[in-house]
Amino acid sequence: DMLKAADLAMYRAKRDGKNNYHFFSSALHAQVQERIRLEKELRSLIPTDHFLVYYQPIIDAKTLEISGAESLIRWDHPTRGVLPPSEFIGLAEEIGLIVEIDSRSRLKVCQQLSKWRKHNMVPPNFNVRINVCAQMLTDEELYNAIKIDLDKTELPGSCIGLEITESILIENFSTTAELLQQIQNYGVEISVDDFGTGYSSMAYLKALPARTLKIDRTFVQGVPENIDDSRILRAMIVFGKSLNLKIVVEGVETKEQARFCRECGADLLQGYLFSKPVSSEAFEQLLSSHNPD
């Protein structure tokens, strides 16, 4: 799309004979070059696998123990360091690589989890919630693919969860809902991610078989100082609980926010207060050193 936009802009600039054509086109040219370079890098890095899975702990609001984690991808870039998803996920989606990347990450998570369980490094009910891209949910094979990963690593379905966002569902709501139901029947817990933001709304809850609601971190930011923000967060937690959903609050950064969420009845907490997403090695450290206080 960016390429098309650049062509169009150049065409217009030429047609209109603007003096600034040179300046204009070279800036766009640089942008296009950068994109082409990133795309090439992304493609070439798939087989060599420069992607890392980071883990962020999810805390039981009652006991304050680590009860699970969310897996979050990083690109271990050879010159630019460890890049967050915002730098490459959009591009990977656009050029159709995200399904491949996510599939590899899922297997990696299962392998890691299998190892942690064998060494008794995680509690028995510990689970990892994996983000799934929209494209993945249109593939009926997802159910089999998940089963294969779990079988390979000798894990029960309950060890992993899937976090769902995005707008695709609108198109094929019933097929997607069926697929997710099938996956959840296998024990894999489905969460609605980023709840309350544009893409994840009440319509989702009605149509999807989700058992967990993840309240987006934008709803936590002003809490507890801002009274309106606090009321909204409380109402969202109460609302979710009344639908028998398990509530995860993301983006908990302060002790006051944690206390507020616990008082409102949230089940699980996630955020920088406990830890940023970290490498699997650092996560092992967290597991062994975490003590609730």
Which secondary structure element, helix H or strand E, spans residue 14, and what is its range? helix 2-16
277: which DSSP letter? -
Q: Is 193 in the site for Ca ion (CB under 5 A)?
A: yes
Identified binder of Ca ion from the candidate list 194, 257, 269, 271, rule CB under 5 A: 194
Considering only the stretches 12-20, 93-101, 172-180, 192-200, report the one whose residues sit in contact with Ca ion under the rule CB under 5 A.
192-200
8 Å CB contact between 154 and 188: no
Considering only the stretches 25-33, 37-45, 201-209, 267-275, report the one whose residues sit in contact with ligand C2E under the rule CB under 6 A.
267-275
8 Å CB contact between 290 and 63: no
Identified binder of ligand C2E from the candidate list 169, 237, 251, 268, rule CB under 6 A: 251
Q: Which one, 32 or 38, has the nearer CB to ligand C2E? A: 38
Nearby residues of 121 by Cβ (< 8 Å), 6 or more positions away: 284, 287, 288
Phi, psi (degrees; rounded to nearest 5) at 272: -60, -25
Considering only the stretches 174-182, 184-192, 231-239, 246-254, report the one whose residues sit in contact with ligand C2E under the rule CB under 6 A.
246-254
User: Rule CB under 6 A: which of 127-146 touch ligand C2E?
Assistant: 131, 133
Whether the upstream peptide bond of residue 57 has omega within 30° of 0, thus cis, is: no
8 Å CB contact between 130 and 108: no
Q: Is 112 in the site for Ca ion (CB under 5 A)?
A: no
How many residues belong to the site for Ca ion (CB under 5 A)? Answer: 4
Q: Is 196 in the site for ligand C2E (CB under 6 A)?
A: no
Q: How far is the CB of 13 from ligand C2E (least distance, A)?
A: 35
Alpha carbon distance 236, 105 (integer Å) = 31
Q: How far is the CB of 279 from ligand C2E (least distance, A)?
A: 13
Alpha carbon distance 190, 187 (integer Å) = 9
Q: How far is the CB of 86 from ligand C2E (least distance, A)?
A: 6
Q: Distances from the Cα of 56 to the Cαs of 67, 124, 223, 251, 258, in angstroms?
A: 11, 18, 22, 11, 16
Q: How many C-beta atoms lie closer than 10 Å to residue 28's C-beta?
A: 18
Identified binder of ligand C2E from the candidate list 89, 113, 169, 258, rule CB under 6 A: 89
Binding site partner of 41, from Ca ion, ligand C2E, none, Cβ cut-off 5-8 A by kind:
none
Q: How far is the CB of 252 from ligand C2E (least distance, A)?
A: 6
Q: Are strands 160-164 and 189-195 parallel, antiparallel or unpaired?
A: parallel
- Residue type at 81? G
Residues that bind ligand C2E (CB under 6 A): 56, 72-73, 84-86, 89, 98, 102, 105, 131, 133, 163, 193-194, 217, 250-253, 270-272, 277
Residues that bind Ca ion (CB under 5 A): 131, 163, 193-194
